[in-house]
Amino acid sequence: MPVVNLSLQVLPVVSEEKVYPIVDKVIEYIKRTGVKYVVGPMETTMEGELDTLLEIVKKAQEICIKEGASRVISVVKIDYKPEGVTIDEKIKKYYV
C-alpha cells in the first residue's frame, strides 16, 4: 500500500482549560507510534500506510474520551495517490 498523508484535528468536548492537555496526550500517542508526523497550529499531519493512520485516528478518539471528553469532534484529511505522497515533497522547499 502506498504512503499517504493524513491530517487529524481532534476537538474534545471539555472545558477550555482541559482541551490542550488532552490534545497533548493524543500527540504523545502519535509520537509513540513511530509514524512520521508534523504538529501544526490546527492539526497534526502524519505519513504512513492508510490502515495504520486510520487506527491512530480511532485510538485518538479513545484517548480523548478516556481523558474526560463527553464526545470528540475530529476533522480528518487524507492525501492519497497511487504512487504515494510524502510530507517532505510538500514542504521541503519552505525549510531550505
Interval 6-31: pLDDT, tens:
999 999 999 999 999 999 999 999 99
Say which residue the cell 492539526 belongs to. Answer: 43
Give the CATH number of the domain where residue 65 resides.
Answer: 3.30.70.930
Backbone angles phi, psi at 62, to 5 degrees: -65, -40
At residue 96, the pLDDT reads 66
What integer pLDDT is reported at residue 84 of this predicted model? 95
Residue numbers of the domain that contains 73: 3-92
Question: How many folded domains does the chain comprise?
Answer: 1
For residue 53, give the amino acid letter: L
Q: Which residue has the cell 464526545?
A: 71
Q: What is the pLDDT of residues 48-95, one digit of tens each?
A: 999 999 999 999 999 999 999 999 999 999 999 999 999 999 998 887
For residue 44, report the phi and psi dihedrals to the nearest 5 degrees.
Answer: -115, 130
What is the model's pLDDT at position 95? 79
